[in-house]
Amino acid sequence: MPENAPSNLLERLRYVVVEGPIGVGKSSLTERLTKRFGGRAVYEVVEENPFLASFYSDRAKYAFQTQLFFLLSRFKQQQELFQDELFQQVLVSDYLFAKDRIFATATLDQNEMALYERIYENLGPRVRKPDLVVYLRARIDVLLGRIKKRGREFERRFDAEYLEELCHTYNDFFFHYEETPLLVVDTSEIDFVENDEDFEEILREAARMKRGTVHFQPGGRRS
């Protein structure tokens, strides 16, 4: 068993998902959790989407192509991951398959969404549900700062209005989310990459999760 990993957490959780809007730190927390659990990290394919750069230039024109590529590539990855012979260690993913509908809702028009839903309804039930979802949140100004800091070329034209709309859609989705235990973490004032205690607080809170939804702000507040 990996050093310092809570034993009860490893016994209960085999598949953990980290979610949240762009720039919130999903991949960074996924990396730290994977290392702590001695598990396997699962990252969504972003840069390989050939429509993404065009999408940030003209969202209305390229939204459907971008979304459909993400949906099909994520489904393919999920199917490959959960073959029985591969599911022998803790998996930590930086995306929830259902999140694809979050972006679709925010970007597609009515006709595109109707077609998207027909495809999604055939794929969603065939994807394994996680044992725990950790939903990371942060203020818009914090997210924009983190996006700018990581300096991805295709995100240079990223605008605050779209990010704010996306955050609202995320919040609405997880407000109604009941499929798995859900830990909601406010990351606006913490740095779980550089600050070990911030990371340990999140880990301890995850170890306490059994069912339902818990809202947690590092520093001791939970509801």
pLDDT digits (tens, 9 = 90+) for 59-76: 889 999 999 999 999 999
Given this model, what pLDDT does residue 221 score?
A: 52
The pLDDT value recorded for residue 148 is: 80
Q: Are 189 and 197 a contacting pair, CB within 8 Å?
A: no
DSSP states of 70-120 = HHHHHHHHHHHHTSTTTTTS-EEES--TTHHHHHHHHH--HHHHHHHHHHH
Q: State the CB neighbour count (10 A cutoff) for residue 188.
A: 13
* pLDDT for the residue 208: 84
The better pLDDT of the pair 63, 6 is held by: 63
Per-residue pLDDT tens digits for 207-221: 888 889 999 877 655
209: phi then psi, degrees, rounded to nearest 5 = -70, 135
24-28, 59-63, 137-141, 191-195: the lowest-pLDDT one: 191-195
Instruction: Provide the CATH topology of domain 7-222.
Output: Rossmann fold (3.40.50)
Starting at the earlier edge strand, list the strands of the sheet with 40-42.
40-42, 91-93, 15-19, 132-137, 182-186, 213-217, 221-222
Which band of pLDDT confidence, cut at 50, 70 and 90, is reported for residue 116? very high
Active site residues: 94
In whole angstroms, what is the distance from residue 67 CA to residue 69 CA?
5
In this predicted structure, the answer to whether residue 1 has a pLDDT above a threshold of 50 is no
Which is nearest to 29 in space by CA: 181, 190, 219? 190
pLDDT value for 138: 93
C-alpha neighbours within 13 Å on the C-beta side of residue 12: 15
